[in-house]
């Protein structure tokens, strides 16, 4: 091998993942023991038990339309940073650039949401196990149940995740494989323990729609001694601009029609089903990527839907005394169920399963996030691309992309000040990034300009059903984009509008003259699978 060939090899990611490991990365990021657990109380307090019994399968089926659409495109173009590459091939430079930034924001915020959720959960577990006072204060950080202490624990959890990601994809792939068994084993242990030892509510309870708070109460905070609709930014609280603009929202949110509370509560399920684009992002490190990465995208959602539904049904059926209000009001509703319903040893084991799953979820999320930023930098889309696109000579990982994105995921939490706000931002940003290439593909199909998605160019394809499935996916992305910008996630609305202004300005002032689109490196990587 010549010197130039050696240098070229040093700039490439290694194909050291099989199909199962590719699936495992996305399955780990979806992590039913993270999203479904941390936002369990959020959905329950708004819409009651039915949010799990009916809401989860509705979201699962609609999300499968998005996953199937993405899997087909992944099969045609398996490359790191896949979403914006697809948007470039289907729509051009502008759509590619917007898709890339949405995906990068979504990746950072989902990693932030996962790891701060893990910190919140682990603190809660320790408080409950050792009977600590949650108001106990730590010097410079405030109470152990406060946001700044939670962020400190988040950083401690992330340090080994970052180091493992730097040390090579092989170790990350092995841990992703472990994560699959850990998640599935954990769910079945928890389900078996609750069914054996826990209280059982009647079947009718699972279809109850009685939440414990109204959307108005969930959207309010104390300002000047009065509880009013509020916009919370960090530690600051302001009267809600949205409620000022549309006073009728107060009546709507107070009356709480079921369609509204069901839609708002679906954030629990929809945030859980995020991050499965990871299978596309690690496709340049996957053998037989055209098939393996596509199945990774689709199966990670399908398997999570089934296993997650088992978990939620059992948790809800075993809510102690059927007391939705007490369960939802607890800072850690799933831990509340564990320690009220199970023998102490079984509650401990269940808590360990959940905590471990959250940490493994964060590990995989950093893997996906760094690959997206690396790929966009490699193609000239980011400032600092000369170092963000560097592959470490020994470990063959995008070391600077890993470090930068991990730091950004901590900083975004300082802005959001609540994990459900971070989760809403990540859900919208990611699903817009998912939806753009799917919408572009749908438009081409409706115009009769189909890309050549045959068995050779896209072994995993939807055939004649593609138009219908793409249409359902695009509509669903539009629905959740609107719903998850509504109070109590109003900060998300203004953040999304800010992103729109930023992207428009960035494109017209800079990127339309400088960004040329994906380069030869992405094409070469696909050719080498």
Q: Indicate whether 177 belongs to any domain.
A: yes
CA angle 506, 510, 515 (to 5 degrees): 100
Please tell me the distance from the alpha carbon of residue 79 to that of residue 21, in angstroms, as a whole number. Answer: 16
The pLDDT tens digits of the residues spanning 285-318 come to 888 889 999 999 999 999 999 999 999 999 999 9
Q: Indicate whether 2 belongs to any domain.
A: no
Average pLDDT of the chain is 87
Q: Indicate whether 5 belongs to any domain.
A: no
CA distances from 68 to 5, 197, 295 (A): 38, 39, 9
Q: Indicate whether 17 belongs to any domain.
A: no
The pLDDT value given to residue 10: 45
- pLDDT tier at 16, thresholds 50, 70, 90: low
Please tell me the distance from the alpha carbon of residue 355 to that of residue 117, in angstroms, as a whole number. Answer: 10
Q: Indicate whether 385 belongs to any domain.
A: yes
Mean of pLDDT values over 480-502: 87
Q: Indicate whether 321 belongs to any domain.
A: yes
CA 450 to chain centre: 30
Q: Indicate whether 237 belongs to any domain.
A: no
Length of the chain in residues, anyone?
A: 529
The pLDDT tens digits of the residues spanning 239-260 come to 999 999 998 999 999 998 989 9
CATH of the domain at 92: 1.20.1740.10
CA angle 412, 371, 485 (to 5 degrees): 40
Structural domains counted in the chain: 1
The pLDDT value given to residue 289: 84
DSSP state letter for 391: P
Q: Indicate whether 246 belongs to any domain.
A: no
Please tell me the distance from the alpha carbon of residue 387 to that of residue 127, in angstroms, as a whole number. Answer: 42
Q: Which domain holds residue 272?
A: 23-214+256-518
């Amino acid at each position: 091998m010549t010197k130039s060939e050696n240098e070229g090899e040093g700039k490439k990611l290694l194909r050291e993942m099989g199909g199962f490991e590719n699936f495992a990365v996305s399955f780990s990021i979806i992590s039913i023991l993270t999203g479904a657990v941390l936002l369990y109380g959020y959905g329950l307090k708004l819409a009651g038990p039915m949010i799990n019994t009916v809401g989860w399968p509705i979201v699962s089926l609609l999300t499968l339309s998005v996953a199937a659409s993405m899997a087909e495109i992944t099969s045609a173009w398996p490359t790191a940073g896949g979403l914006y590459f697809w948007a470039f091939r289907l729509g051009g430079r502008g759509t590619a650039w917007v898709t890339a930034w949405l995906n990068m924001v979504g990746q950072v915020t989902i990693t932030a949401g996962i790891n701060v959720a893990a910190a919140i959960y682990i603190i809660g577990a320790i408080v409950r196990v050792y009977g600590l006072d949650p108001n106990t204060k730590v010097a410079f950080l405030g109470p152990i149940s406060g946001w700044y202490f939670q962020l400190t624990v988040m950083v401690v959890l992330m340090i080994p995740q970052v180091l493992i990601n730097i040390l090579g994809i092989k170790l990350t792939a092995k841990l992703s494989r472990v994560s699959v068994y850990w998640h599935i084993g954990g769910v079945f242990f928890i389900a078996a323990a609750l069914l054996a030892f826990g209280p059982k509510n009647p079947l009718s309870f699972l279809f109850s729609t009685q939440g414990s708070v109204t959307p108005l109460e969930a959207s309010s905070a104390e300002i000047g001694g009065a509880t009013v609709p509020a916009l919370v930014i960090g530690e600051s609280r302001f009267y809600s601009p949205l409620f000022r603009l549309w006073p009728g929202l107060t009546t709507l949110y107070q009356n709480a029609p079921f369609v509204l509370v069901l839609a708002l509560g679906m954030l629990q399920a929809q945030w859980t089903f995020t991050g499965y684009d990871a299978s596309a992002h690690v496709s340049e490190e996957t053998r037989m990527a055209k098939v393996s990465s596509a199945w990774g995208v689709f199966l990670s959602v399908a398997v999570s839907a089934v296993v997650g539904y088992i978990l939620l049904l059992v948790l809800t059926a075993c809510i102690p005394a059927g007391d939705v209000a007490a369960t939802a009001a607890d800072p850690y509703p799933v831990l509340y169920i564990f320690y009220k319903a199970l023998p102490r040893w079984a509650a401990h084991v269940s808590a360990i399963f959940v905590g471990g799953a959250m940490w493994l979820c964060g590990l995989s999320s950093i893997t996906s996030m760094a690959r997206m930023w690396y790929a966009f930098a490699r193609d000239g889309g980011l400032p600092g691309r000369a170092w963000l696109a560097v592959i470490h000579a020994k470990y063959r990982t995008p070391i600077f992309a890993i470090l930068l994105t991990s730091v950004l995921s901590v900083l975004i939490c300082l802005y959001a000040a609540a994990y459900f706000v971070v989760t809403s931002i990540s859900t919208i940003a990611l699903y817009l990034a998912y939806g753009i290439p799917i919408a572009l593909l749908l438009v081409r199909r409706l115009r009769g300009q189909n890309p050549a998605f045959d068995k050779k160019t896209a072994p995993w394809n939807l055939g004649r059903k593609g138009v219908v499935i793409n249409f359902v996916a695009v509509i669903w992305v539009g629905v959740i984009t609107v719903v998850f910008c509504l109070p109590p996630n109003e900060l998300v609305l203004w953040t999304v509008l800010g992103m729109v202004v930023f992207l428009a300005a960035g494109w017209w002032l800079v990127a339309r003259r400088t960004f040329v689109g994906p380069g030869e490196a992405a094409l070469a990587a696909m050719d080498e699978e």
